[in-house]
Amino acid sequence: MPLAPFDWIDDEARRRADAGLVRTLRPRPAEPELLDLASNDYLGLTRHPEVTAAAAEAAHRWGAGATGSRLVTGSTALHAGLERELAAFCGFEAALVLSSGYAANLAALTALTGRGSLIVSDAGNHASIVDGCRLSRAETAVVPHADPEAVAKALHAHDGRALAVTDSVFSVDGDAAPLRGLADVCRARGAALLVDDAHGLGVLGEGGRGALAAAGLAGGEGIVATATLSKSLGSQGGAVLGPARVIDHLVNTARTFIFDTGLAPAAAGAALASLRLLRREPERAGRARTVATALYERLTAAGLTAVRPDAAVVSVRAPSADAAVRWAADCRTAGIAVGCFRPPSVPDGISRLRLTARADLTQAQIANAVETVLRTAPAA
């Protein structure tokens, strides 16, 4: 009797269930019922009236969709304005916006490397970077986490075009990459440095200008950044920022730009409104960092194990994947939404609760979140 084509899926599902790794979609009501420490809305902008109004206005003016690749159906003044203001804000010569941060990483990695070149990638890098490395056809050396010496060694062993890539703030533990050290070793070897600032934009640097501005590296000759518009900027979409010739090269060669429908006007309008709000209210960035530190200090003082946050992500260790899932569920029951990271989303197999510090959390909300996480914590 031949097997049905998808019988293997049931076997995989059983194995996932046995390992406590089943993922399910939960309904999300329009009005938040829980205190949100799970989203990446670090600055609390996604429901800001100016931001939602800008999204609606952009949709009315330019249409609900971009209608095609910007190379085919044209590029709006809205997209050009967002790219100009984003580049200027972060300290780069030029920017290109794409339909997601994921697409931005694929674009930068595939367009700036290729067969015969070397990518040196941090072991803790985001899945979109891992996939960009795979798609690029470049040789990829995965090096130990946050280790410029290891990057230098890998670069030294290669003759020819090379690029090192790192998250600026790692999404699992919330720790920052040693950007200055990485830039030094790249400069010494004539390699490019690509930094995914998904978790740094809006949180790090003066007024949220990002990790590269904070490190004094923004706009450097060999430096390229990617970013997402879906976290601090409360919208959707991604961007690549760098020298104008790099951005021109991407327009001509990056397949996730050329063969993908342009960023939706509503998303571009919302991101631009958030960016302008952040310029007007730069204190939001520092506030997100202060909230993260407060969460970390109170949770670790009570005996939990966490990594000191360098930005707005606070990652608390759980004894097992099962325990992490139960812990997150107990927090939800108590009215607090928290993230739960477990294999395969963690590079080291260690499951975590992931709390995101929002700039708009009140002292009472912070106290409530801390009390709930501690009260529901599994026995060590």
Ligand X SMILES: Cc1ncc(COP(=O)(O)O)c(C=O)c1O
Q: Residue numbers of the site for ligand X (CB under 6 A)?
A: 100-102, 105, 126, 128, 167, 171, 196, 198-199, 228, 230, 238
Whether 158 sits among the annotated catalytic residues: the reply is no
C-alpha dist (Å) from residue 361 to 254, 312, 369:
39, 12, 10
Residue 70 or residue 199: which is nearer to ligand X going by CB?
Answer: 199
Nearer to ligand X, 192 or 233 (CB): 233
Residue among 267 and 323 whose Cβ is closer to ligand X? 267
Q: Could you say which of 117, 231, 274, 315 is catalytic? A: 231
Q: Point out the catalytic residue in the list 79, 121, 199, 232.
A: 199
- Which residue in the shown chain puts its C-beta closest to ligand X? 101
Q: Rounded CA gap, 37 and 346, in Å?
A: 19
- Minimum separation from the CB atom of position 329 to ligand X (A): 22
Active site annotation includes 156: no
The nearer residue to ligand X, 45 or 152, going by C-beta atoms, is 45
Strand, coil or helix: what is 370?
A: helix
Structure tokens at 205: 């640097």
Q: Which residue bears the tokens 């803790």?
A: 124
Q: Tell me if residue 99 is catalytic.
A: no
Distance of CA 5 to the CA centre of its chain: 36
CB of 172 vs ligand X, minimal distance in Å: 9
Complex with ligand X: residue 222 or 238, whichever CB lies closer: 238
Which residues on neighbouring strands pair with residue 223, listed in sequence order? 193
- Choose between 130 and 185: whose C-beta lies nearer to ligand X: 130
* Cis check: omega of the bond before 344, within 30 degrees of 0: yes
- Closest approach of ligand X to the CB of residue 11, in Å: 29
Q: Are 352 and 341 in contact (CB under 8 A)?
A: yes
| 315 SS3 class | strand
Report, in Å, the least distance between residue 104 CB and ligand X.
7
* Closest separation in Å from C-beta 233 to ligand X: 10
AA letter at 368: N
Phi, psi torsion values for 37, nearest 5 degrees: -120, 30
217 vs 240: CA distance, rounded Å? 15
Q: Which one of the listed residues 171, 230, 235, 274 is annotated catalytic? A: 171
**Closest separation in Å from C-beta 198 to ligand X:** 3
Closest-CA residue to 234 (of 171, 197, 278): 278
CB 351 within 8 A of CB 320: yes
As a whole number of angstroms, the distance between CA 24 and CA 22 comes to: 7
Question: Looking at the annotation, which residues are catalytic?
Answer: 171, 199, 231
